[in-house]
Amino acid sequence: MYGTSEIVDAAAPVDAERTAFRRTEKLYKLYKTQAPKSWKNQAHRKTDLSGVIDFHSVLESFKQCGATPAGIFKYECRSFNRPVFCFEERPGFYFIPGALTDDEQVHWIRESLISFPQPPNRTNHTEAYGPIFGLFDAAQNNKVLVEAKSTSSEVDRILGYDKTNLNSKRFSFSEYCMITNNDESYKSVAASLLLRKLRWSTLGLQFDWSKRNYAVSLPHKRIPDDLCLVAKKMAVPAMPNGEEFQPEAAIVNYFGPSDMLGGHLDDMEKDWSKPIVSISLGCKAIFLLGGKSREDMPIAMFLRSGDIVLMAGEARECFHGVPRIFTDSEHADNVDLLSQFSNEEDLCFREYIKTSRININIRQVN
Ligand SMILES: O=C(O)CCC(=O)C(=O)O
């Protein structure tokens, strides 16, 4: 949970709040027809996507004839050598289509699955299970998570544990298989299930969801240098007076096939003139950029793997969300990306990302 929103299963019933933002979300979210259980593949309701802006087409036609659709302009920034597009009606929002190469996307997908959920970074599972090491690897090896009897002093050191706190939860992966575990007092859960239910991890300064602020006292590592470099480089069009962006925290969102991120504001950073740098990986999604009120009609656009958006200044006050991702072969737009994972040892990444989307959004907190 962060901002005023969390990733939810779009198939779950939600109270209808009839604002313009909510109506647009409902227009685009994924619906499944009420098919009988015996039907293996439920058909998806056809959604009219003709009103969704496709910045890859905008870029193509700009290259061919130098024109942009009404309300969109190409942003000129001398110190930035990629095409950037903006909306006349939403100052502070920047779209950088295809900002990352295929290799870069592959790298950040691996990092998002292997390194970013590693303690001391927190995930949506930390509250229930405490720190979990090696989740992705454990899921590939059919391990289950069991309550550990003890942890090594190395783990204690990394996590800054107080040994006198007997309530600290300590879980580790075991080779034991759930099915052979008949002891009901021995809690266990399959790593593959935990991976499928991974919804967020936080890097750098850790966010305390219960207090809705950055908890500087929580153990944390700095954001990896290579991610900082990407964020600094990509933030340039949105930085006031040529200042350098200082990445201090990041949230990694993991979307499964029927997940959505409801309309929200990101309002817990001090200086809203600094951008949020938001990287898309995996399946294509629809992004809604609303206005300062939920009553303002949102603009819908596609986000593809490798696209980056920046939200700074006035755009920081705009409601936004992701009503759906596309996993079907007609719309997912991930064939090139999937072909990058063709080696035997990469098939696990391919399987995951074939039906998932990852978003890494990087923030300057102070
Ligand atoms: O997934 C996205 O592209 C948007 C993420 C977002 O809005 C957020 O993390 O606040």
Amino acid at 180: T
Ligand 1 atom nearest residue 303's Cα: 3
- Supply the residue whose CA is at minimum distance from atom 10 of ligand 1: 266
Ligand 1 atom nearest residue 266's Cα: 10
> Going by C-beta distance under 8 Å and a sequence separation of 6 or more, which residues neighbour residue 77?
84, 236, 237
Which one of 196, 225, 258 terminates a domain?
Answer: 196
With respect to residue 67, please indicate whether it lies within any of the assigned structural domains: yes
| Same-domain pairing of 233 and 145 | no
Can you give the CATH number for the domain in which 45 is found?
2.60.120.590
Residue with tokens 């050598």: 81
Residues flanking ligand 1, CB < 6 Å: 3, 251, 253, 261, 266, 278, 280, 287, 303, 320, 322, 359, 361
| Same-domain pairing of 236 and 102 | yes
- Domain boundaries, position 250: 7-110+200-363
| Same-domain pairing of 138 and 106 | no
Ligand 1 atom nearest residue 251's Cα: 9
pLDDT of residue 48: 92
Nearest to 249 by CA among 277, 210, 273, 272: 277
Nearest to 355 by CA among 321, 331, 332, 324: 332
pLDDT of residue 207: 85
- Dig out the tokens for 270 from the structure: 């001090």
Q: How far apart are CA 338 and CA 347, in angstroms?
A: 9
- Can you give 222-254 as a three-state secondary structure string? CCCHHHHHHHHHHHHHHCHHHCCCCCCEEEEEE
Q: What angle do CA 285, 190, 124 make, to 5 degrees?
A: 50
- Dig out the tokens for 6 from the structure: 């969390």
pLDDT of residue 227: 98
Which one of 176, 196, 216 terminates a domain?
Answer: 196
With respect to residue 64, please indicate whether it lies within any of the assigned structural domains: yes
With respect to residue 117, please indicate whether it lies within any of the assigned structural domains: no
Which one of 162, 196, 230 terminates a domain?
Answer: 196
266 annotated among ligand-binding-site residues: yes
| Same-domain pairing of 244 and 315 | yes
- Supply the residue whose CA is at minimum distance from atom 8 of ligand 1: 361
264 annotated among ligand-binding-site residues: yes
- Supply the residue whose CA is at minimum distance from atom 1 of ligand 1: 359
| Same-domain pairing of 135 and 206 | no
Q: State which of 200, 261, 277 you would mutate to test the pocket of ligand 1, scoring each by most atoms of that ligand within 8 A of its C-beta.
A: 261
| Same-domain pairing of 14 and 58 | yes
pLDDT in tens, the chain (366 residues): 334 355 655 544 454 558 999 999 999 998 866 445 555 555 556 789 999 999 999 999 999 999 999 999 999 998 999 999 999 999 999 999 999 999 999 999 999 999 999 999 999 999 888 889 999 999 998 888 877 554 555 545 544 444 444 345 566 776 544 444 445 545 678 899 999 999 999 999 998 877 778 988 888 999 999 999 999 999 999 997 889 999 999 999 999 999 999 999 998 888 899 999 999 999 999 999 999 999 999 999 999 999 999 999 999 999 999 999 999 888 888 899 999 998 988 999 999 999 999 999 999 998
Number of domains in the chain: 2
Query: How far apart are the two ends of the chain, measured CA to CA in Å?
Result: 21
With respect to residue 75, please indicate whether it lies within any of the assigned structural domains: yes
pLDDT of residue 88: 98
pLDDT of residue 134: 92
Q: How far is CA 65 from the centre of its chain?
A: 34
Q: How far apart are CA 301 and CA 51, in angstroms?
A: 8
